[in-house]
Amino acid sequence: MGNLLAWINDHLWVAWTVIAVALATIELLTIDLVFLMLAAGAAAGAITALVGGGPAISIIVAIVVALGMLAAVRPVALRHLREAPMVRMGISALVGKKGLVVEQVHPHGGRVKIEGEIWTARPYDEHSTIEPGKSVDVLSIEGVTAFVHESEQPW
């Protein structure tokens, strides 16, 4: 029995590593981020045991790291998992893009080239006129009309 305890004490990091791998495997099945945080605690316990910390110190480190991960990291990770990134698609993806005036843009119409397509356009400022060859910023799109403003940066 004494030899077993001595072996465990000498190879405590192995036990912690097995526990960490088991917890990480359970996490793959649950995808709840609880077992992953516990696995991080077990990994910290393994590192502590590997560098010479005794059983008591490695247990304390494992508990502190696991609780810290559960309290600090898990809520942030869950928030990021639940919030879908805002991806603009279709016409709304063109808002904010640059365009090139191909036909004078005035309050009654005009044409601009945006992302390789020709769009009908009007100036966002209804009293301005934008000459062909000028660079514009697309500020909004309503129907098939892009509302643009002359850009200070070239196209």
Boundaries of every domain in the chain: 2-82, 90-150
d(CA 74, CA 17): 21
Q: Per CATH, the architecture of 90-150 is what?
A: Beta Barrel (2.40)
Find out whether 113 and 155 touch, Cβ atoms under 8 Å: no
pLDDT (0 to 100) of residue 155: 61
pLDDT (0 to 100) of residue 5: 73
Helix boundaries (H) for 32-146: 34-50, 55-68, 74-82
pLDDT (0 to 100) of residue 71: 96
pLDDT (0 to 100) of residue 19: 95
Low-confidence residues of the chain, pLDDT below 70? 1-2, 155
Bridge partners, residue 122, by sequence: 147
pLDDT (0 to 100) of residue 80: 85
pLDDT (0 to 100) of residue 82: 85
Q: How many other C-beta atoms can be found within 10 angstroms of the C-beta atom of residue 37? A: 22
Helix axes 34-50, 55-68, angle to 10 degrees: 150
pTM of the model: 0.55
